Amino acid sequence: MNRIKNIVKALQTFSRTDNVGVKPVDIQDNLESVLTMVAQSLQAQQITVERDYSPLPTVEINPGEFNQALMHIVVNAIDAFDGVERDDRTLRITTTREADRVRIAIADNGKGMTPAVQAKIFDPFFSTKAIGSASGMGLSMTHTIITQAHRGHLTCASVPGEGTTFTVELPCHHQPHSPRAPVPMIPSLACS
Asked if residues 92 and 50 have their Cβ atoms less than 8 Å apart, the reply is yes
The answer to whether position 183 is within a domain reads: no
Asked if residues 33 and 10 have their Cβ atoms less than 8 Å apart, the reply is yes
The answer to whether position 116 is within a domain reads: yes
pTM value is 0.80
The answer to whether position 190 is within a domain reads: no
Q: For residue 101, what are the domain limits?
A: 2-171
The answer to whether position 47 is within a domain reads: yes
The answer to whether position 33 is within a domain reads: yes
The answer to whether position 60 is within a domain reads: yes
* CATH for 134: 3.30.565.10
Kindly give the confidence (pLDDT) of every residue in the chain, 192 residues in length, as a single tens digit, with 9 standing for 90 and above. Answer: 555 555 544 444 445 445 568 899 999 999 999 999 999 999 999 999 999 999 999 999 999 899 999 999 999 999 999 888 888 999 999 999 998 999 999 999 999 999 999 999 998 888 776 655 554 567 989 999 999 989 999 999 999 999 999 999 999 887 665 444 455 544 444 333
Task: Supply the Cα-derived Rg of the chain in whole angstroms.
Answer: 16
The answer to whether position 179 is within a domain reads: no
The answer to whether position 177 is within a domain reads: no
Could you give the number of structural domains in the chain?
1
